[in-house]
Structure 1
Amino acid sequence: MVAVSMADGWARATGNPQCVIVHVDVGTQAIGQAMHNANTGRVPVLIFAGLCPYTEEGFVGSRTEYQHWLQDAPDQKAIVGGYCRFTGDFRTARTVKQTVFRALQIASSDPKGPAYITGAREVLAEKIEQPFTVQKKRHSAIGPAALPQDAVENIVEALVHANNPLIITGYSGRNHACPEQLVKLAEAIPGLCVLDTDCDVPWIPSRNPPREDAKIYYVDVDPLNSSIGFSFFTADGRWKADSYTALTQLTNYLSLTPRLQEILSTETYKRRWEYLQKAYSAKKDALARLATPPSDGALDIHHVGSAIKTAVPEETVFVVEAATCAMDLSDQLQVTMPGSWINSGGAGLGWSGEAALGVKLAHDAAGHNPPSFICQVVGDGCFLFSVPSSVYWIASRYGIPILTVVLNNRGWNAPRRSHELVHPNSLGAAATNRDMHISLDPAPDYGGIAKAVAGSSFGKTGEELFVGRARKADELKSLLEQAVKAVKSGRGALVEVVLNVDEKVNIMGYLTMNTQVAEDNGINCSCGRWPSFGSLNGED
């Protein structure tokens, strides 16, 4: 889990794959959750696993230990094959390089994902009389695909004439040039809103389906979600195309079509733009008010997010695994730099600590000066799902300083929310976390866990990992300032934030209450978070 998630973080930050070596069948089983995340997150990772020797004697590499019989799995690749873009074997030493390059070529072609190769010891010990050379440039990944011209015209026409135009985007931000194109398109079509989901689920049909008369176009490198068993989202058109290439086509066509430019210059669109500017300003003001701590200084996620944003450097890259707090955290961090918000997009919890180390290594390898500042924000449950003993030992051993903020709400609230979505009025809705066996009270000493394994000297600093726990707003401000200073000096840091939450509160009721509070403060919490423009067009 740790090694593959580190490779995952590197690949998300750079787009380039890393290789992880695991031990036969048991090592393959240990990476299962990380392979799920890499698969759903479209992350290129190359895994090499040994196979048990297939001979008992007579060859260099034949079986020499008892486990060579115990670990002889019937079909080792099948353990993770469903999560891979490619699986293969080293069948002879002569084809090792070709197999590796084919695996990397497929893993790095859209939709990207993991590749898994196995090799038995007899093959690895085989002598090669005539080495084989591979020309790397002639085995590159597939280049980006474009939209056909009629699709470009249909999509632009639909966006310009829509009452409520909306773009739902997920993976496009992996290409750091994409946000600029999205901004260009949104500014060119007043009223066009952009919703970032970072996963393959544009909406949930049982909860928030689109209107029956909505016109839907699906543009993606995998518009049929081929890695998902059942995915049946409706669309009026689907095209297999690269997001950046498609967005560039759309903005160019729009800017070069006088008829559409004339429509967009009318009073209707001017009113849309003015309305959006006012709504955006009101939303930022309302979020600032939500971030104000109460008189007793108790901590909630809004103030915590605002405090983190204030404390860390402007160019900070956030690696986030905050589960039920993620949306409120995003509202307060308000990141604007492409590539500065990274989450897994998968369901394998315990990813972020390891991934943050990979992200930090990737940024350091790029030679950034000053070094990039990486901040992991993780829920207490997700922190425990990871392998913190390995994470903080690796961070200390190799001198990889990051800031970790652990959100302690004393329980796994995600399962409670999932339960209440199906059974909102059941006994479980009124039960405590302890009743439901999802309580983390008494809370572990999260800082103590990390500090114990990091040892007496973090890297070569000669100082211990910095740790602290905040229960009040003034404590949080001071601890974050110290933690940031420690990370900049080359030490790692962990700050535990004890959130003021009542575990007996019905989660869905709590969300409804927070929605009302937000709307009272001027934040529109309807689907898409923006108002309808039908009335501005003089239409129903």
Structure 2
Amino acid sequence: MAQHTAAHYFIEGLRDLGVEFIFSNLGTDHAPLIEELARHEAEGDVRLRPILCPHESLAVHMALGYGALTGRGQVVLVHVDAGSANAALGLHNAFRSRMPVLLIAGRAPFTSHGELLGGRDNYVHFIQEPYDQASLVRPFIKWEADLPSGVVAKEMLRRAYSLMSSDPPGPAYMSLRRETLTQSWDSADIADFPDSDYGACRLGGADPDQIERVVERLLAARSPLLITSYAGRNPAAADALARFATLAGVRVVEANAQRLNIARNHPCFAGFNAGDALPDTDLGILMDVDVPWIPADVGPAAGSHWIQIDVDPIKRDLPLWPYAVHQRIAADSSHVLEQLCAALESRRDAAFTARAAQRVASLAEQARARREAAAALAKRVGSAPGTVSAHHLCAAVARQMDDDAILINEAVRSSGIVATQIPRTRAGTYFHNGGGGLGWSAGVALGAKLACPRRDVVRIVGDGTFYLGNPTSFFAAARQYELPTLTVVLDNGGWAAVKSATERVYPDGYAHRANQFQAVLPAGVDFSQVAQAAGAYGVTIDDPAQVEAAVSSCFEQIRAGRSALLHARIAAL
């Protein structure tokens, strides 16, 4: 009977899950896995490919980007407590964005006197053994386990993968030790755990009675509003929402849009802020959204009725959620939208159809006015000498992007400008973060490019988020795996979010009067040289006359297979 190590069955188990890549930042705890991968490669089996990431945060976010474009949860491999700690920010973002990823971390060996193969043979093996390693990531995971034996390696991998992929999806965490991975087992003792028997549990449509209640409200509504953030996790939702909005005459607002939820040239798309629409709304639908508005600033109209349709309507991992709703539906939003369209088509009469068409026409006029206002802002080339207008620059980027190009928006305080001036129209072409950890766009861009090598990938960041994205690691990985993307840095010289937050709390305080917000970053740093250090193309501009040529040259470079960075100095915060 053939015998193999636990590491062999572990790698085999990953392949059984359909995993193609392991996004990795390796350490001394991974020797058995490294040996097994080398053996597979020597035998010509390269179905599972390691992607080496110089920082753990890059690895997690690269997995998220690849997973977002393929629709399949990914696997990340890091080392012990140190790697888990560095990966925690990525798990926070995955958790809040409801994206499945399995973080696998080694643990320090447990034998010290040579009792077992793989025991402690290095200084770090003695100091990288905390009492509770999983506590580093526990707030951001759905499941955790330590691999006790190679005989259950495949079973535990399937369990982790199915749990993280079940609705609402999110991260899982597994740890393993060298001694466990080096032990051998007869192949007859290792069972398979196919997806057909042990797969994930996903939500479908809503109960027909629930649909009927929603339709009754829609038929009677005067001014309906739908607010969403991440319905577009399912690409089918964008077209379904467009059809529903047209059919019912519903205004659609994207609040902190994590994905493209509706084409932004659709007549019913009403921008990114629900505040102006709330006073006139008599029927509201919260669809896959965590923060539809800021209650301290604005609230729903008295007597309005609110319906919630969400993969996670109770917001089980948020200690507080201050939004009153009158009907909750736990379901997949794309399925519910199809159900609502079918029910409305069978129930609507001529009067309802006319009212809905009138609302669509009114919304289309409002959308036209917003587009004209955005175009006027794009014509303003700069607000001060030595600076470029972010509106003007983003509009130039938009002219270079085709309908399938992928936009990754981490511009923070300028993110509204980016989304407005580069309006995406197709599902799977826009990404934002549902979490609060910055620097995520670097890895997501590389993962997206790995998944879609023929599509342009553009990430737009601020100078603060550029620092937090581990830029040297980003450009190194881009070079090693030939993943050319364009990074645009909107450099306002600091953290505008810090300044604005302080002014909201203390509008007339000492910080405001002295203009001292502890938010200014070093002046004179040339980010283009960071890109150039890794062989990428880099250009820095501070004159509006440079915009068109700089943008054009960057797109030429990435289409020729070379990463590019455009560093633009915009108005200082």
TM interval, short-chain normalised? 0.7 to 0.9
| Residue 536 of structure 2 is aligned to residue 465 of structure 1 | yes
CA contact 2:247–2:356 (8 Å) conserved in 1: no
In the other structure, the counterpart of 1:279 is 366
Q: Does 1:207 align with 2:297?
A: yes
Contact 2:389-2:544 within 8 A present in 1 as well: no
**CA distance in 2 between partners of 1:59 and 1:280 (Å):** 69
| Equivalent of 2:458 in 371, 375, 378 | 375
State the 1:261 CA deviation. Answer: 2.9
What amino acid maps onto 2:528 in structure 1?
A: G
In the alignment, which residue of structure 2 is the partner of 1:527?
none
Is contact 1:318-1:376 (8 Å) kept?
Answer: yes
Alignment map for 1:32-71 (pairs within 5 Å)? 32-57=88-113, 58-71=115-128
Letter in 1 for 2:489: V
Question: 1: distance between equivalents of 2:537 and 2:296?
Answer: 46
Q: Return the alpha-carbon distance in structure 2 between the equivalents of residues 231 and 275 of structure 1.
A: 33
Alignment of 1:481-520 (within 5 A): 481-501=552-572, 503=573
1:183 corresponds to which letter in structure 2? A
| Aligned CA distance change for structure 1 residues 216 and 106 (closer, same or farther; 3 Å) | same
Which among 388, 392, 400 is matched to residue 299 of structure 1? 388
Q: Offset of 1:65 from its aligned partner?
A: 2.2
Counterpart of 1:420, as a letter, is E
Q: CA deviation at 1:125?
A: 1.2
Pairwise CA distance, 1:270: 4.2
**Aligned partners of 1:360, 1:31: CA distance in 2, in Å?**
21
The structural deviation recorded for 1:38 is 0.7
| Counterparts of residues 328-367 of structure 1 (less than 5 Å) | 328-364=417-453
Amino acid at match of 2:486: L
Q: Residue 389 in 1 paired to residue 476 in 2?
A: no
Q: CA deviation at 1:312?
A: 2.7
Deviations 1:167-224 (A, max 9, x none): 1112111111101111111101225334343352122211122223221111111111
1:32-181 pair list within 5 angstroms? 32-57=88-113, 58-129=115-186, 130-181=189-240
C-alpha root-mean-square deviation of aligned residues, in Å?
Answer: 1.7
| Greater than 4 Å deviation, 4+ residue runs | 294-298
Q: Give the superposition deviation at 1:52.
A: 1.5
Same amino acid, percent of matched pairs: 30
| Matched AA of 1:376 | R
Is residue 409–residue 431 contact of structure 2 (8 Å, CA) maintained in 1?
yes
Rounded to whole Å, the distance in 2 between the matches of 1:34 and 1:111 is 18
**Contact 1:144/1:245 (<8 A) preserved:** no
Aligned-partner Cα distance in 2 for 1:11–1:163: 40
> Which amino acid is 1:239 matched to?
I
Q: Deviations over 1:143-184 (max 9, x none)?
A: 332211121122222233223211111211111110111111
| One-letter code aligned to 1:306 | A
Give the structure-1-normalised TM-score: 0.86
Q: How far apart, in 1, do the equivalents of 2:550 and 2:109 lie?
A: 54
* 2:551 equivalent in structure 1: 480
Measure how far apart 1:294 and its partner are: 4.5
Change in Cα spacing, 1:271 to 1:136, as seen in structure 2 (3 Å) is: closer
Q: Distance in 2 between matches of 1:387 and 1:255?
A: 51
- Contact 2:81 / 2:128 at 8 angstroms: preserved in 1? yes
Deviations 1:249-295 (A, max 9, x none): 111110111xx3333234x4443333222222222122111110248
SS at match of 2:305: coil
Cα deviation per residue 1:331-356 (whole Å; 9 max; x = unaligned)?
Answer: 11111011111111111001111110
1:439 aligns with 2:520: yes
Instruction: Confirm whether residue 16 of structure 1 aligns to residue 72 of structure 2.
Output: yes
Separation in structure 2 between the aligned mates of residue 186 and residue 118 of structure 1, nearest angstrom: 46
Counterpart contact for 2:224–2:249, Cα < 8 Å: no
- 1:68 maps to amino acid: H
Q: Which amino acid aligns with 2:172?
A: A
User: Offset of 1:137 from its aligned partner?
Assistant: 2.9
Measured after TM superposition, the shift of residue 135 of structure 1 is 2.2
Aligned counterparts of 1:314 and 1:239: Cα–Cα separation in 2: 33
Q: Deviations over 1:102-156 (max 9, x none)?
A: 0000111111111100112221111112332232332222133221112112222
- Give the AA of the match of 2:195: K
2:461 matched to 1:405?
A: no
CA distance in structure 2 between the partners assigned to 1:153 and 1:37 by the alignment: 36
- Which of 474, 493, 511 in structure 2 is aligned with 1:428? 511
Contact 1:110/1:221 (<8 A) preserved: yes
Partner of 1:310: 399
Tell me the SS of whatever aligns to 1:216: strand
Distance 1:142 1:101 in 2: 13
Contact 1:350/1:387 (<8 A) preserved: yes
Output the CA distance in 2 between the equivalents of 1:60 and 1:232.
55
Give the deviation of 1:429 after TM superposition. 2.2
Read off the aligned partner of 2:495 and give its amino acid letter: W
Is the contact made by 1:321 and 1:379 (CA closer than 8 Å) also made in structure 2? yes
SS in 1 for 2:217: helix
SS in structure 2 at match of 1:486? helix
User: Structure 1's 103 and 299: CA in aligned 2 closer, same or farther, altered over 3 A?
Assistant: same
TM-score by structure 2 length?
0.81
Other-structure match for 1:525: none
Q: What SS does the corresponding residue of 1:91 show, helix, strand or coil?
A: coil
Q: CA deviation at 1:320?
A: 1.0
Match of 1:526 in 2: none
Counterpart contact for 2:381–2:544, Cα < 8 Å = no
Q: How does 1:253-264 map to 2 (within 5 A)?
A: 253-257=343-347, 260-264=348-352
Gapped runs of 5+ residues in structure 2? 1-56, 259-288
Amino acid at match of 1:480: V
In structure 1, give the amino acid aligned to 2:375.
A
Specify whether residues 348 and 187 from structure 1 end up closer, same or farther in structure 2 by C-alpha distance, changes over 3 A only.
same
Q: Which sections of structure 1, spanning at least 5 residues, go unmatched? A: 365-370, 455-463, 504-540
Distance 2:536 2:126 in 1: 43
Q: Distance in 1 between matches of 2:235 and 2:58?
A: 26
State the one-letter code of the partner of 1:262: A
Residues 493 and 520, structure 2, Cα contact 8 Å, conserved in 1? yes
**Equivalents in 1 of 2:524, 2:226: separation in Å?**
41
The aligned counterpart of 1:516 is none
